[in-house]
Chains A and B, each alone.
Chain A
């Protein structure tokens, strides 16, 4: 059986096929959660909330979706927008908290420092970095999601990485 494209799945859902949304979610929900998690400083609970809100938007807008953008781009764009709203909403209550799931990799203390440095970036730079490092995303995908040229993504990424390094180095210097 030929695998349907994301756009076909969206159209099928709009026509009443719930299984199509399930298939679309199986492809993208984890990625959407990853992006939300990155943009929200590792706050898993808030990331879940944001992605659920994003699905609500998708469900409401599926019938109006037009194939002038890839469905995947549209999904991630909704997540990025929702995250921007959620950050404003929750800024008073949360500090960055990377690594809630206690996964392997860099030490927890470094994860927290990195999350704090990421939170210190401007929203544009943070979105660019997170999208570019999200699983399965390319810089071109990030450009499509953010609606900016690829060159701008590269330039923002370069600047953002430089600022991240500087922030982390300053902290290292301050501690030593």
Chain B
């Protein structure tokens, strides 16, 4: 190839002569399902309105800094600040009265009553008559995958593990992902991982709590909506390409052998990608419809040995000292957590208030 042919070839390769694709339209359609319509905030154009809103937001942020709480993730039930609202939310999930004391500290940082009452979870995956599965989701539904973990203490670890295994309902597609029991007696341990219908997560967690003494518990949520929307958009695109290729195949009388072979190869690749994306979509839908519950069970050690009165007194003294130190450390930690943990709220609120003040001042009088 000479210089001119190379340049010509490069120009040709970097030029689109295909049909009118209107990909922007498909992208916009895909995005519509997930973002607020641009321009709807047009009414907030007045600087004073913006300032007022910012001031309100800033005040809200500062208030949250003062009143809010961010419980530690999955820490053992110890000293800490648990607001009454959080207790109430926990109580409603556990199906008990808010006046009852909480049995443990739940991690609800990414888990709220509102988010859990949404219906899309189990309804996302539908089993069709031919046994295949299809994702059916309302356009505006959030697709959230929940996973919970708990640590229990039980005098009979084997029995606790057996009871955990009975919590699943196979008719709802639930199953035991793994179950491992090690050791005997008080030193035995077990880990059971269940996949349960997301709609039944509360019910299963309540049952888990009844199996032993809860040492810790946490629930986490992951929003898969955007990933699902992305896969859907790409899938639609690939299906359209597949349909176009099939149309070309139907008119194969007009193609030479080389063209036909190329078309078949391209069709195979497109179908491969479609299958890959469908598998991704189904895997995500399964994560949404089935929550993971991981339960660790520890055995209770045998009761302490008999001691003489003097050594019992000394041990009591040591325990009291140790408890005192831990209580002091816990209090200092709580105070520091309150001051330092909310720095972001203090700073954020202050910045918003300053911005609001500047916007207010900028308004021509």
Taking beta carbons and an 8 Å cutoff, which residues of A are in contact with B?
Answer: 13-18, 21-22, 24-25, 29-31, 33-35, 37-38, 42, 44-45, 47-49, 51-53, 55-56, 58-60, 62-63, 93-94, 97-103, 105-106, 110-111, 113-115, 118, 129-131, 133-135, 161, 164-165, 168, 172
Q: Which of B4-12, B280-288, B292-300, B344-352 contacts A (4 or more CB under 8 A)?
A: B4-12
User: Does the CB pair A111–B270 fall under 8 Å?
Assistant: no
Taking beta carbons and an 8 Å cutoff, which residues of B are in contact with A?
Answer: 1, 3, 5-18, 21-28, 30-31, 35, 37-40, 42, 230, 233-234, 237-238, 241, 259, 262, 266, 269-270, 272
User: Does the CB pair B272–A93 fall under 8 Å?
Assistant: yes
Name A34's contact: one of B1, B15, B30, B233 (CB within 8 Å). Answer: B15
Cross-chain pairs A/B with CB under 8 angstroms, 10 sampled: A16-B37, A25-B22, A35-B14, A38-B13, A45-B269, A59-B27, A60-B35, A105-B8, A114-B1, A134-B15
Known interface pairs A16-B39, A105-B8, A165-B3; A29-B14 also in contact (CB < 8 Å): no
A165→B237 CA distance, assembly (Å): 37
A161 to chain B, nearest CB (A): 7
Since A16-B38, A22-B25 are in contact, a sample of 4 more A-B pairs with Cβ atoms closer than 8 Å, ordered by chain A residue number, is A37-B16, A45-B270, A52-B237, A115-B13
User: Does the CB pair A55–B23 fall under 8 Å?
Assistant: yes
Contacting residues, chain A, for B1 (C-beta < 8 A): 106, 110, 113-114, 168, 172
Known interface pairs A16-B39, A48-B21; A135-B270 also in contact (CB < 8 Å): no
Residue of B nearest to A160 (CB): B10
Contacting residues, chain A, for B30 (C-beta < 8 A): 56
B239 to chain A, nearest CB (A): 12
Contacting residues, chain A, for B241 (C-beta < 8 A): 45, 48
A107→B162 CA distance, assembly (Å): 71
Name B269's contact: one of A15, A37, A94, A134 (CB within 8 Å). Answer: A94
Contacting residues, chain A, for B230 (C-beta < 8 A): 56
User: Does the CB pair A105–B9 fall under 8 Å?
Assistant: yes
Q: Which 10 A-B pairs have the closest CB atoms?
A: A16-B39, A38-B14, A55-B27, A33-B16, A25-B24, A133-B10, A34-B16, A134-B14, A52-B23, A114-B9
Contacting residues, chain B, for A62 (C-beta < 8 A): 38
Residue of A nearest to B5 (CB): A106
User: Does the CB pair B234–A49 fall under 8 Å?
Assistant: yes
A80 to chain B, nearest CB (A): 12
Residue of A nearest to B7 (CB): A133
A56→B3 CA distance, assembly (Å): 38
User: Does the CB pair B16–A56 fall under 8 Å?
Assistant: no
User: Does the CB pair B8–A106 fall under 8 Å?
Assistant: yes
User: Does the CB pair B31–A60 fall under 8 Å?
Assistant: yes
Known interface pairs A25-B22, A29-B23, A56-B30; A111-B10 also in contact (CB < 8 Å): no
Contacting residues, chain B, for A14 (C-beta < 8 A): 38-39
Contacting residues, chain B, for A103 (C-beta < 8 A): 12, 17
User: Does the CB pair A45–B266 fall under 8 Å?
Assistant: yes
Contacting residues, chain B, for A168 (C-beta < 8 A): 1, 6
B187 to chain A, nearest CB (A): 49
A85→B37 CA distance, assembly (Å): 28
Residue of A nearest to B234 (CB): A49
Contacting residues, chain B, for A29 (C-beta < 8 A): 21-24
User: Does the CB pair A56–B233 fall under 8 Å?
Assistant: yes
B308 to chain A, nearest CB (A): 72
User: Does the CB pair A30–B6 fall under 8 Å?
Assistant: no
User: Does the CB pair B13–A118 fall under 8 Å?
Assistant: yes
Residue of A nearest to B236 (CB): A52
User: Does the CB pair A51–B23 fall under 8 Å?
Assistant: yes
A17→B18 CA distance, assembly (Å): 27
A41 to chain B, nearest CB (A): 8
